Amino acid sequence: MEVLTEKKYYTYHTQNLVPTKLKINSEIFVKEISKFNFIPWGDVHLEFPRYAVPLINEDGIFKENDPACYPLDRWNFLLEYPQFKYKEWTDEHLIKWKEWNSQEIDMDSIVNEKHFKVPTDALKISSLSALSELSSYMYRSCILKWDYLGHFKKHIDTWHPTQWIKLWGTTNPNGMVIRYEKDGRMISESHIESGRLYLHDSIKPHEGLAFTDDVYQFFISLNPRALDVLW
Please, are residues 223 and 164 in contact by the beta-carbon 8 Å criterion? yes
Going across the sheet that includes 151-155, the strands are: 151-155, 206-210, 176-182, 185-188
Position 107 scores a pLDDT of 77
109 CB contacts (<8 Å, ≥6 apart)? none
Domain 6-229 of CATH type 2.60.120.10? yes
pLDDT tens, position by position, 203-215: 999 999 999 999 9
Say whether pLDDT at 183 is over 70.
Answer: yes
Mean pLDDT rounded to a whole number for the chain: 95
Please, are residues 162 and 112 in contact by the beta-carbon 8 Å criterion? no
Distance between CA atoms of residues 129 and 115, nearest Å: 23
49 CB contacts (<8 Å, ≥6 apart)? 146, 147, 148, 149, 150, 210, 213
pTM: 0.94
Please, are residues 176 and 211 in contact by the beta-carbon 8 Å criterion? yes
Cα–Cα distances in angstroms (integers) from residue 113 to residues 42, 55, 70, 163, in the given order? 16, 13, 11, 9
Q: How confident is the model at residue 187 (pLDDT cuts 50, 70, 90)?
A: very high
Integer-rounded Cα radius of gyration of the chain: 17
- How much of the chain is helix, strand and coil, in % rounded to 5? 30, 30, 40
Position 127 scores a pLDDT of 98
Average pLDDT over residues 154-183: 94
Say whether pLDDT at 220 is over 60.
Answer: yes
Say whether pLDDT at 1 is over 60.
Answer: no
pLDDT tens, position by position, 4-60: 999 999 999 999 999 999 999 999 999 999 999 999 999 999 999 999 999 999 999
